[in-house]
Amino acid sequence: MRSSRIIHVVSAHAEGEVGDVIVGGVAPPPGDTLWAQRTHISNDQTLRNFVLNEPRGGVFRHVNLLVPPKHPEADMGFIIMEPAFDPPMSGSNAICVATVLLDSGIVPMEEPETHLTLEAPGGLVRVRALCRDGKAERIFVRNLPSFADKIGVPLEVPGLGTLRVDTAYGGDSFVVVDAADAGFEIVEDEAGDIARTGMRIAEAANEQLGFVHPENPDWKHISFCAFCGPLSKTDT
For 103-131, the three-class secondary structure string (H helix, E strand, C coil) is HCCCCCCCCCEEEEEEEECCEEEEEEEEE
CB–CB of 93/79 below 8 Å?
no
Quote the mean pLDDT of the chain.
Answer: 96
Separation CA 34–CA 79 (nearest Å): 7
Look at residue 3 and tell me whether its pLDDT is greater than 80. no
Distance CA 114, CA 41 (A): 31
pLDDT at 233: 82
Start-end of H helices in the chain: 34-44, 46-52, 91-103, 191-208
* Residue 2 in this model has a pLDDT that exceeds 90: no
* All domains in the chain, ordered by first residue: 8-142 (3.10.310.10), 147-228 (3.10.310.10)
What's the predicted TM-score (pTM) here? 0.93
pLDDT tens readout for residues 63-100: 999 999 999 999 999 999 999 999 999 999 999 999 99
Residue type, 174: F
- Closest alpha carbon to 75 in 124, 142, 129: 124
Beta pairing, strands 173-178 & 161-169: antiparallel
Range 185-193 average pLDDT:
95
- What proportion of the chain, given as a percentage, has pLDDT over 70? 98
Does pLDDT of 186 surpass 70?
A: yes
* Confidence bin at 1 (pLDDT 50/70/90): very low
pLDDT band at 18 (very low <50, low <70, confident <90, very high): very high
Say whether 232 is catalytic: no
pLDDT digits (tens, 9 = 90+) for 139-171: 999 999 999 999 999 999 999 999 999 999 999
Instruction: Find the mean pLDDT for residues 167-177.
Output: 98
Among candidate residues 4, 42, 90, 146, the one labeled active-site is 90
Q: In this predicted model, what pLDDT tens digit does every residue of 195-236 receive, in sequence order?
A: 999 999 999 999 999 999 999 999 999 999 999 998 888 776
Q: Is the dihedral of CA 98, 104, 110, 113 positive or negative?
A: positive
Is the predicted pLDDT of residue 5 greater than 90, yes or no?
no
Burial of 124 per CB tally in 10 Å (0-12, 13-18, 19+): middle
CA atoms of 103 and 10, how far apart (whole Å): 10
Find the mean pLDDT for residues 179-187. Answer: 96
